[in-house]
Structure 1
Amino acid sequence: MTHPPHLDLLPTVLVVDDEVRSLDAIRRTLDEDFTVFTASSAEEARGLLERQAVSVILCDQRMPGQTGVNFLKQVRERWPEVVRIVISGYTDSEDIIAGINEAGVYQYILKPWSPDHLLDSVRNAVEAQTLQRQTSRLDLELRTSTVVLRQRTTSQVVQARSSFGFDRIVRAQGSPLEGVCTMAERVARYDISVLVLGESGTGKELLARAMHYASPRQTGPFVVENCAAIPDNLLESELFGHKRGAFTGAYEDHLGLFQRGTGGTVFLDEIGETSPAFQVKLLRVLQEGEVRPVGGARPVPVNVRVIAATHRHLEERVRDGLFREDLYYRIAGVTLTVPPLRERVADIVPIARQLVQNVAAELGHPGAHLPDDTLACLLGYGWPGNIRELRNEIARALALNDGPQLGASAFSSRVLQGRSDGAADDLVAAVPKSGTLAERLQVIEAMVLRETLLRHRWNKTRVAQELGLSRVGLRAKMQRFQLESK
């Protein structure tokens, strides 16, 4: 082991190779620009790392006892932040390439190497290591100033509560949603986990956000992740963070959602879509109150409240072995169920009117409104996609409509037909599977008649002309199918 007297003035490099001539050649190449340490085995190198901070390691792949890649994996676990790694070898097999990725190797230098190339590689590695330290220091400074950065002023909290509070969840008087909001508001003040159940598009995230701004954590962040939108390996990185070099494409440290949400609320949507393997890691985080970033050597403490949501029946998935029972009880401190729109029909009108205002402002359609006959049409549809589907239909109607009044004809045919089976252009799908031919044809006849009446806004003259009926015949059919009134 050798090093020059000006040890503290130059970046330090450790060269690990069992061949004396190779060690000497690399040392002479780097000696003028770096403080060079040498070791002839992995064991000797580990001992040196215990005593001396090192910027870069150059390690030969073929050494007796332990390969360079396996040694560098251990280095990554023990010294992930203070050592930048360069490997020197003369093979490019798939096993070596896979090992290089696992070890977080900065660069792979093939033999025979040139002095200029080796020198440039080590210089770049030292520069990357210096930038990493600067990034870590800045990150620490940001995290230590959470009081300044994350705590919101009283006026900002008041504004947020006015925008996302429970009173902004649109509902009619006596709606089934009233009881859900009352219970959610009571639970919000206590720092316990909440599980929100309900079909997609019912407003589960809106309820979770209202709970956050009614809780003692209201000055902290509210962060959201859709667990169904990304695969497990990326979900772990998004939630728990990762270290630079942890995997291919990890070019810098990444703070996970749990770290960014410290002091606030983490909303995990569609948690029922996660795999059992990921559920184990999430359970550990919730139990221990700390996360281990991917590629990190030490856990990081976090302080968050978790609100989870899913459209799945989690108890059934627990029985089927698809969801861990211990995680279920961890996240379901309190369970809230948001009813679908078809079970709270009275909410459709106020929600539709609010959506018209919001979407019209976004699309530049001031003054847009829904007449009574259009509202009657919306009330006659089952809305399997809930509020999300209603919003899409209103956006479509605003885009296709010329004037401020949104007539029923601006909506899709499945809404006009009052059908929610998803087959808007296939009338056969709505026909009963039993009964006589005449009975089945009556279903189609009533559906066509209702759609035409809605499209022409109950103008019987136009409906009769389109369907080839007399006004007397049309009136008889309307009475037969109980369509004599809007």
Structure 2
Amino acid sequence: MLTRTRPTVLCVDDEIRSLETLERTLDEEFNVITATDADQAMALLEQHNVQAILCDQRMPGRTGVEFLTDVRKRWPQTARLILSGYTDSEDIIKGLNEAGILQYITKPWHPDNLLLIMRGACRLYELQNENELLAMEMRLTEDQAEQNVQQKKQRLQKAFQLDEIQRHENSPLNNLCDQAAKIAPYDVSVLVTGPSGAGKELFARALHYNSLRVDRPFVVENCGAMPDELLASELFGHKKGSFTGAITDHVGLFEQADGGTIFLDEIGEISPAFQVKLLRVLQEREVRRLGEHQRRKVNVRVVASTNRDLEEEVRAGRFRQDLYFRLAEVTLELPALEKRSMDIPVLAKGFLKKAVQAFDKPVQGFTDEALDCMRRYCWPGNVRELQNEVRRMLVLAEDEWLSADLLSPRVLRAAPVEEVAETEMLAELDGSLKERIETLEKRILRETLIRHRWNKSQASKELGLSRVGLRSKLERYGLNKDFH
């Protein structure tokens, strides 16, 4: 099996403790080198092939943006990211324009989120290199290029067909997909609601690729936690010199999506002031770039999403009612994954197939016991959490079957549905002590046995029981390994 070289990332921060925390978080997946100032970082870049740079904004001497601007001139392919506890919109815009910042990460950051961002940054570096190599090696004729474009479009259309959305034959998503199929061809605004990680962007793309706008662009903007000026610049565009850092004209996403679809994620997070600006664009179907007087007509279908209850936000006065009705001509409400547990095995197998291809680590599949444990867990992170769990299991696997002991403790210890009612009894006054203890004992026995792959010797040793005593309890509670 081909072993991939670990990507190298450079972390730059004048605070030693912050550097140590970043290194501890990243060193499991990356070769991490560190610097406490821009000059030291430049010297390291001369010596190492660095895929991504994570740099603090406020440092003695040169700021993060100034340093990364210099990096961009010499190593333009290296992914550049800023880490800061401040959200100065001028700094952000300057970073995007001058330093070509890939992402602006605010403190405090979450380790899992930071790892996800850095994986994406290093993958972008790889893709840029691959693209350059392909460009050097291949000289396609115009007909060949056109054919390739059409093939890619066809693959995209197929990938985002509503029939291709993975689900059980009796899934609650069936009715939702039927609704989406009916509304996709019509130019109506759609609001997709549901918890984070439930697949709202997947449905937005399906609406676009099943519409008459399929040959035009589909663009995405996450509206959450973004300053109004920066969001306006991203969506509506700006003119050179309209604000500090605007060194070139910028075409906004509404113009880029002309004729196609724009997906506004986390729409419930925008400020009341920006709600007014967005409403005008939707009403007039025209945008005005920052710093310009000219208005430009746009023909764009809007699909928005939120994990908030926008009707409640309207009643509370936090979201404009007129904007809500503009966005929600049709509403699609995605259920949480725990509301469609029958989909979990289907999704898990689909994610495993993709992970096997990505990691080049073939396995046969999941044991029945592992799938049963997955069905019992509530999945607060929804589909995204399930995908991460499957990838984790594959990475840790040593056998050809992914067994239950590879699951994270929080998933493994989830109570079966039929035991939830019994467990709730523990808090009731009329439940006897004996009944409460037996419920807990059964849960502990089952979780321990799964973790030890039903090795009774190891389980009895951990629990401080004799093999005879353990066998007696298993017979009493009817706990037998009936999974393959």
CA 1:323–1:255: 2 relative to 1, 3 Å? same
Matching residue within 451, 458, 471 for 1:455: 451
**Is structure 2 residue 218 aligned with structure 1 residue 222?**
yes
Distance 2:346 2:187 in 1: 32
CA 1:185–1:150: 2 relative to 1, 3 Å? farther
Matching residue within 408, 414, 417 for 2:410: 414
Partner of 1:207: 203
Matching residue within 161, 164, 182 for 1:165: 161
Partner of 2:284: 288
Distance 1:450 1:226 in 2: 43
Matching residue within 394, 399, 406 for 2:395: 399
Distance 2:273 2:303 in 1: 20
Distance 1:353 1:378 in 2: 12
Partner of 1:314: 310
SS in 2 for 1:335: strand
- Deviation of 1:369 after TM superposition, in Å, equals 2.1
Distance 1:234 1:151 in 2: 38
Matching residue within 325, 334, 345 for 1:349: 345
Partner of 1:69: none
Partner of 1:325: 321
- Deviation of 1:209 after TM superposition, in Å, equals 0.6
Distance 2:438 2:312 in 1: 40
Native 8 Å contact 1:356 1:368 kept in 2: no
5+ unaligned residues in a row in structure 2: which ranges? Answer: 1-89, 91-144, 417-422
**Is structure 2 residue 331 aligned with structure 1 residue 335?**
yes
Counterpart code for 2:315: R
Matching residue within 231, 237, 240 for 2:236: 240
SS in 2 for 1:344: helix
**Is structure 2 residue 296 aligned with structure 1 residue 300?**
yes
Distance 2:451 2:270 in 1: 44
Q: TM-score, normalised by structure 2?
A: 0.63
SS in 2 for 1:306: strand
Distance 2:311 2:435 in 1: 41
Native 8 Å contact 2:162 2:177 kept in 1: yes
Distance 1:431 1:399 in 2: 39
Native 8 Å contact 1:152 1:219 kept in 2: no
Counterpart code for 1:303: N
Native 8 Å contact 2:195 2:336 kept in 1: yes
Distance 2:403 2:395 in 1: 12
Counterpart code for 1:275: S
**Is structure 2 residue 264 aligned with structure 1 residue 268?**
yes
Partner of 2:274: 278
- Deviation of 1:483 after TM superposition, in Å, equals 3.9
Aligned pairs for 1:74-85 (under 5 A) are none
SS in 1 for 2:402: coil
- Deviation of 1:259 after TM superposition, in Å, equals 0.7
CA 1:481–1:246: 2 relative to 1, 3 Å? farther
CA 1:298–1:378: 2 relative to 1, 3 Å? same
Counterpart code for 1:200: S
CA 1:482–1:190: 2 relative to 1, 3 Å? farther
Q: TM-score, normalised by structure 1?
A: 0.63
- Deviation of 1:226 after TM superposition, in Å, equals 1.1
Native 8 Å contact 1:464 1:474 kept in 2: yes
SS in 1 for 2:366: coil
Distance 2:359 2:170 in 1: 32
1:238-269 superposed Cα distances (whole Å, 9 cap, x missing partner): 11111111211111111111111111111111
- Deviation of 1:154 after TM superposition, in Å, equals 5.0
Partner of 1:90: none
SS in 2 for 1:395: helix
Distance 1:312 1:346 in 2: 25
Counterpart code for 1:394: V
Distance 1:441 1:243 in 2: 70
Native 8 Å contact 2:225 2:269 kept in 1: no
CA 1:263–1:432: 2 relative to 1, 3 Å? farther
SS in 1 for 2:213: coil
1:103-144 superposed Cα distances (whole Å, 9 cap, x missing partner): xxxxxxxxxxxxxxxxxxxxxxxxxxxxxxxxxxxxxxxxxx
SS in 1 for 2:302: strand
- Deviation of 1:452 after TM superposition, in Å, equals 1.3
CA 1:178–1:248: 2 relative to 1, 3 Å? same
Counterpart code for 1:316: E
Distance 1:357 1:291 in 2: 43
**Aligned CA-pair RMSD:** 2.8
Partner of 1:387: 383
Counterpart code for 1:325: Q
Distance 2:341 2:428 in 1: 29
Aligned pairs for 1:432-471 (under 5 A) are 442=438, 444-471=440-467
Distance 1:157 1:369 in 2: 31
SS in 2 for 1:219: coil
CA 1:383–1:168: 2 relative to 1, 3 Å? same
1:170-222 superposed Cα distances (whole Å, 9 cap, x missing partner): 00001000000010011001010001111111111111111111100000111
Aligned pairs for 1:108-187 (under 5 A) are 155-187=151-183
Distance 1:274 1:290 in 2: 20
CA 1:151–1:372: 2 relative to 1, 3 Å? same
CA 1:281–1:319: 2 relative to 1, 3 Å? same
Distance 2:239 2:424 in 1: 55
Native 8 Å contact 1:166 1:181 kept in 2: yes
Partner of 1:193: 189
CA 1:283–1:370: 2 relative to 1, 3 Å? same
Equivalent pairs: percent with the same residue? 51
Native 8 Å contact 1:197 1:337 kept in 2: yes
5+ unaligned residues in a row in structure 1: which ranges? Answer: 1-97, 99-148, 421-428
CA 1:318–1:380: 2 relative to 1, 3 Å? same
- Deviation of 1:385 after TM superposition, in Å, equals 0.7
CA 1:480–1:338: 2 relative to 1, 3 Å? farther
After TM superposition, the structure 1 stretch with the greater mean CA deviation from structure 2, 400-409 or 263-272, is 400-409
Native 8 Å contact 1:200 1:385 kept in 2: yes
- Deviation of 1:329 after TM superposition, in Å, equals 0.5
Distance 1:287 1:177 in 2: 32
CA 1:295–1:445: 2 relative to 1, 3 Å? farther
